[in-house]
Structure 1
Amino acid sequence: MTSQKVKLKNTVTDPDGDQVNLTFEVWTADAAGNPKTKVMLNDSQYGVIVSSYVASGSTATVEVPAGKLSLNQNYVFHTNAYDGSLYETVWSPWAKFRVELPVDLTLPTPDYTAPDPSSLNTPPDRRQTRPLGSSGSLAAQRAQGGEQCSEKDADGRQVCFGKQLSKDEAPKNVARSMARAEGTAGVEWCHTDFPDILATRFTECDVRSVPVIIRTDGVPDAIAYFMFLRMIQLDGQNSFTEHLTIEPAQQIPTDFAEIDLAINEHLCQGSCKPIEPDDGAWTDKTWWTPGDMHSTSVTTPYTWDASTAGQQYLFKPDIKIDASILPSDGKIRPFMTGYQWSLDYSGGVEDMDKIRCDTTDAGPGTGCVFVNHAPTYSFNAKAFPQAAAHAWLIQKSTPKHPGSMQDQKPLYYMGDSAQNSRSRNRICPTGWAKENGDASALVDAADELNCDEFAFASTYNSGGMSSPEGGLNPALLPGGTTPTGAACIGTYAKKQGSAVHLFSLNGTDPTFTEVCGRSAISGMHNQESMGNHFATFMRDNRIMDKDPYWLDTRMDDGGTCTYGTGGGQPVICKLTAQ
């Protein structure tokens, strides 16, 4: 039985065709199914349950009251019939059964000395995750273009910067540059080894493999391949820095006499101003001849006006590169063309370089973030496994997967304190944890039971936030219009043997189609899993209303669990903390 609503049943036939009831008696059993100790199913002298009368040949059924049967225990039951005047002279044969709860997570032993994970530990990735409701557009942003070409001459010749190549299409970069060997400006993962785009909350690295093509009437005559690297670091209170590296991906073919590249200009919006470097700022020459493989880099600072308090600004830096390309076939006049960064984004990452700068109290002082990169909040699962296990359960086993990077279901921060209270009170009304929790889960005498809700009340994902209020996943009972915790998966923490378990709530069977969870757990685990650790994460990453973030529960099941997938399947496993 993977349910706390245990029903026992047996078919009964009366020789005279009379209506009959059944008396049900339950005993604990050994591994072979032999009865050991009688279970008192109620407070009566005999501790048995009697069914209602049923027609002869029908099935009689009883429900065992919650709490009478133990988890992971073998049982047997048998029945005795009564037709209103006569009892059976013998009991029926024994039937074996075992009770396992729909949710039984065995938790690791807490290590209260374990340090909190860093609030700035999000590794770089290429996911573009916009704030909730963000349009992603800027007034000065230009539309994505195709190839960037010169005009054709009288012979039908022209030169083009082709669209950047994918990692599979790009030629292997055989350049040996200092930038690649050591990373760019100390950022080890930003180099010209391969074309890709990666970002954290404060660093964005866009590496492109870009062909330079000479064509006649649309047919390529010669192609040279370059690696363009642009890394932006948000490293100041009212400034940030761009690092640009250019190098050939392969030796310049002999079809080219020379390729000469130079910055035309940098672009930004509003008070955002680039400080243009002069030609002498490059680390090496900016022209290449056949066989040449050198790399060159230049740094460009940007500033923005941070003098007005309480403001937010969106910036999208851009750069134009000029090219003079001289073929080696006797044509003396070089072809002139240009390459603009914003006209050559690959699909789905066109706003990874969008910067939000603010002079609010979102973080320490003033500062900037890459607003379309979602940082990751990590639980200290080693120290507070009760809270981490509850979030793990809801994230893994419900269809909304709140906060799961794997399922691309970010949490969206909700900064309205009044709405936070409304959402929390709907999911966790006063007294719920005390009524449904177990004191064995508490850490010490000063600890108290708390109701832990997930997704958090401070998110638009909260089950307690209605759709008219902007909620994404309101927890509604059939026919209901007001969110309620009764529509969430209910669990509680309880010590059994030497380990604390997270069990499904007495008398409830989750369907695993719920959109939220509430759990009666240790108040210390609930509060310390967030508290100052989450406040630090918020400030370090300058999180604002509707900003997305991921949740890493730092729990692992080792591949041993049976997951709920909407069919009422149980979730029973032993968790370990990372």
Structure 2
Amino acid sequence: MPPQTIRSADGGNANMKMTLLDHASPLATKLAAKQRNAFAPSMPDPVVDKPWCRPAANGAPQQSLMTRTEACLFWRLEITWQAVDIPGAPKVNYETDFEFQYQVKVDKKGDTIKTWTQVTPLKNTFPDGDRSVLFGAGNPKAMLESMCNSKACDNGAGSQDIDFYGTLDWDGGMTGSIPNDTHIATGTATHKWNGDVNDASSTKDEDLSIDMPTYLVYNAESDIPPPPFGSKKREWKDYPPARFNWQIDVRCDKVPSNGTPGCVLAEYVPEYTIHAAKYPAAAAHIWLIQNKSKPSKGLGASWQSPLHYHPGHYTNGDPRVASGWDKEASRKVMCGKTQVKRADGWAPKKLFLNHPKTAMHPEIQGGPNPDQVSCDEFPFAATYESPGLPKDKGGKMPAGKNRGGECIQTVAAKTDDGSDHLLDDTRYDAPTWDETCGRSSMSKYINSGAMSSFGNTFAPGMRLLDQDEYWVNPGNTPGMSWFSGCSTSTPEVICTMSKP
């Protein structure tokens, strides 16, 4: 499960700026390493122990990345401390910078939400003095707390204290480009899901789950007053407490298809990989649509351009999706079959017709159920991108009156030399590449086998729910691609899949 970048925006107000960092700064890494080497036995261990997130790492910088169960964020908080204006008085501004690292870890088969926070000072232009910047440390207004903002949090929607090692007050002053006070504060807080969902009496995914956004809230104060103006005392401008802009979208569910109740980081977009060596025709069909269809180019080929999951009904007929639509109805729209064809062999435009040259693959499964011809479509029926899903049911690219006949039509066949090919199905109109989808006459063993682990392990393992994003890799990983010799620059696509 490769990590992904965090999708968020910068924020702040007149006296502060919050910037999400791609990775930890060299200075923060250096200071954190020094502190950890000195106090490792006493400091709380991080909750995410991955090379891309490991605190005080040497070499490659730690990065703001996440997986389906773990998140690691770095951001910089720059505060400009401004004194209340007095007529005739010079302005007073001090600047402080802190780098925060925030980790969140959830349990796909449990109820815990673990957090870990580290605060590293980078700049402090206050004059030398104690307690120039406070995030707590006895000041009644100062705070740095962990928030779980949901009725399903064990303590309700509210913040709780973080158990810090290291004080939350920093002295002022700089020596060159390094603050005089370089101590870091490291702490942990654990939230728990209390088991609540939106509507436990329903069968739908959105009702059997609940969002539990988790983030930090803070207010910075100072015990050092601004310098007076003559006999007049001055005060710092007052700003309301703030929250950091980057919440982690924790979601917990009790959807029966996902097994034991648990939680995930819903923002992460998981990758489903096709076994290209075992199911080459299915992989080639997906790759063709993702790379040659003009309107669907790149669709579902990366987490930045994902598909959206549309689960089917339960075996008793109860719906999982909000609209009540069954994905099998989408499949019927795209793959509705006919046993009739014209005398000249031309297939009816709207309906699917088994191709007589479709290659069977009994070697894949064997057993009592023989292989047979099936209709393979991309985008899949189990997506909101399926042209078989009507617009009023949430369909993102519904088909026109010719339904599956509007797709690029292919057949997975064997040529005379016994090799497998994905070929143009010449019984239909030749592709213009303006089609949004693909439909192929293919071995059921190949078609079903390529997606069998999706429903059996991938979707429940990632706790995929209705409308969740995911993407499909047909074997096109850079440096390990089965399609490295393939080009879509010409009207005809002629290429050979080769093992990387």
TM-score scaled by structure 1?
0.63
- Counterpart residue type for residue 271 of structure 1: A
CA contact (8 A) 1:491 1:504 kept: yes
1:493 pairs with one of 383, 395, 412? 412
Deviation at 1:436, TM superposition (A): 1.2
Deviation at 1:510, TM superposition (A): 0.7
Opposite residue 234 of structure 1, the aligned amino acid is: V
SS in 2 for 1:400: coil
> Counterpart of 1:227?
99
> Distance between the aligned counterparts of 2:292 and 2:36, measured in 1?
42
1:271 paired residue number: 152
Deviation at 1:127, TM superposition (A): 4.1
Pairing partner for 2:3 from 123, 126, 137: 123
- Partner Cα distance (1:200, 1:228) in 2: 19
Unaligned runs of 5+ in 2: 38-44, 137-142, 174-179, 202-207, 314-324, 340-350
Aligned residue number for residue 164 of structure 1: 19
Residue 322 (structure 1) aligns with: 219
Deviation at 1:202, TM superposition (A): 1.9
Which residue of structure 1 lines up, in the alignment, with residue 117 of structure 2? 244
Work out the CA distance in 2 between the residues paired with 1:249 and 1:221.
17
Deviates more, 1:499-508 or 1:168-177: 168-177
User: Which stretch of the first structure deviates more once superposed, 289-298 or 453-462?
Assistant: 289-298
Taking only the aligned residue pairs, the percentage that are identical comes to 24
Q: 1:264 to 1:559 in 2, by over 3 A?
A: closer
Q: Offset at 1:404?
A: 2.8
User: Does the CA contact (< 8 Å) of 1:183 and 1:189 recur in 2?
Assistant: no
Q: What's 1:412 paired with?
A: 308
Which amino acid in 2 is paired with 1:502?
L
In the TM superposition, residue 210 of structure 1 has moved relative to its aligned partner by 1.0
Partner amino acid, structure 1, of 2:284: A
| Paired letter, 1:124 | Q
Q: Could you list the per-position Cα deviations for residues 93-142 of structure 1 after superposition, in whole angstroms to 9, with x for gaps in the alignment? A: xxxxxxxxxxxxxxxxxxxxxxxxxxxx24222247xxxxxxxxxxxxxx
Per the alignment, residue 81 of structure 2 pairs with: 214
SS in 2 for 1:435: coil
Query: Does 1:306 pair with 2:202?
Result: no
Which residue does the alignment assign to 1:59?
none
The question of whether the paired residues in 1 share the 8 Å contact of 2:53 and 2:63 is answered with no
SS, match of residue 457 in structure 2 = helix
Give the secondary structure class of the aligned counterpart of 1:163: strand
Instruction: Specify the alignment match of 1:135 in structure 2.
Output: none
Change (3 A) 1:391 1:318: same
Cα deviation for residue 237 of structure 1 reads: 2.2
Deviations 1:549-574 (A, max 9, x none): 1111123365543316xxx8122222
Q: Larger Cα Rg: Structure 1 or Structure 2? A: 1
Task: For 1:505, give the aligned amino acid.
Answer: D
Rounded Cα–Cα distance in structure 1 between residues aligned with 2:474 and 2:122: 41
Contact 1:381–1:553 (Cα < 8 Å) also in 2: yes
Deviation, structure 1 residue 524: 1.5
2:495 equivalent to 1:573: yes
Aligned to 1:435: 354
- Partner Cα distance (2:403, 2:151) in 1: 46
Aligned to 1:285: 167
Pair 213,196 (structure 1): closer, same or farther in 2 beyond 3 Å: farther
TM-superposed CA distance for 1:299, in Å, is 0.9
Q: How does 1:339-418 map to 2 (within 5 A)?
A: 342=243, 344-345=244-245, 353-398=248-293, 399-401=295-297, 403-406=299-302, 408-417=304-313
CA deviations 1:354-402 (Å, max 9, x no partner) are 2222222142221122223322212122221111111111111111246
Whole-angstrom CA distance in 2 between matches of 1:551 and 1:402: 10
1:320 partner amino acid: V
CA offsets 1:500-545 (integer angstroms, 9 cap, x no match): 1111112442111111111122222211111134331111111111
Letter of the 2:405 counterpart: A
Structure 1 residues 514, 243: closer, same or farther in 2, change over 3 A?
same
Secondary structure in 2 aligned to 1:447?
coil
Residue 562 of structure 1 pairs with residue 487 of structure 2: yes
> Corresponding residue for 2:32?
177
- Deviation of residue 416 (structure 1)? 4.2
Q: Determine if the alignment matches structure 1 residue 422 to structure 2 residue 340.
A: no
Deviation, 1:172, is: 5.4
Q: Which has the higher contact order (CA 8 A, sep 6+)?
A: 1
Query: What's 1:146 paired with?
Result: 12
Alpha carbons of structure 1 residues 471 and 577: separation in structure 2 relative to 1, 3 Å: farther
Q: Deviations over 1:125-169 (max 9, x none)?
A: 2247xxxxxxxxxxxxxx996327xxxxxxxxxxx4333366699
Q: Secondary structure at the match of 1:486?
A: helix
Aligned residue type for 1:436: H
Q: 1:414 to 1:277 in 2, by over 3 A?
A: closer
Cα distance between partner residues in 1 of 2:24 and 2:73? 17
The one-letter code sitting in structure 1 at the alignment partner of 2:331 is R
Residue matched to 2:348: none
Aligned-pair distance for 1:298?
Answer: 1.0
The CA distance in 2 between the partners of 1:577 and 1:516, in whole Å, is: 26
Please identify, of 366-375 and 404-413, the stretch whose mean Cα deviation from structure 2 is larger.
404-413
Q: Is the 8 A contact 2:475 2:483 kept in 1?
A: no
C-alpha RMSD of matched pairs (Å): 3.8
> Could you say which structure has the higher strand fraction?
1
Contact kept? 1:464, 1:474, Cα under 8 Å: yes
Q: TM-score, normalised by structure 2?
A: 0.71
Q: Deviations over 1:163-190 (max 9, x none)?
A: 3366699895453325999975313323
Return the offset for 1:458. Answer: 1.3
The aligned amino acid for 2:50 is V
Q: Separation in 2 of the partners of 1:339 and 1:209?
A: 19
Separation in 2 of the partners of 1:286 and 1:575?
A: 59
Task: For 2:408 and 2:48, locate their aligned partners in 1 and report how far apart those are by CA, in whole Å.
Answer: 48
The change in CA–CA distance for 1:537 and 1:396 in structure 2 (over 3 A counts) is same
Decide whether the 8 Å contact of 2:354 with 2:373 is kept in 1. Answer: no
- Structure 1 stretch displaced more, 309-318 or 201-210: 309-318
Aligned length: 417
Return the alpha-carbon distance in structure 1 between the equivalents of residues 146 and 484 of structure 2: 51
Give matches, 1:476-491, under 5 Å.
476=400, 480=401, 483-491=402-410
Would the aligned equivalents of 1:191 and 1:229 in 2 still touch at CA under 8 Å?
no
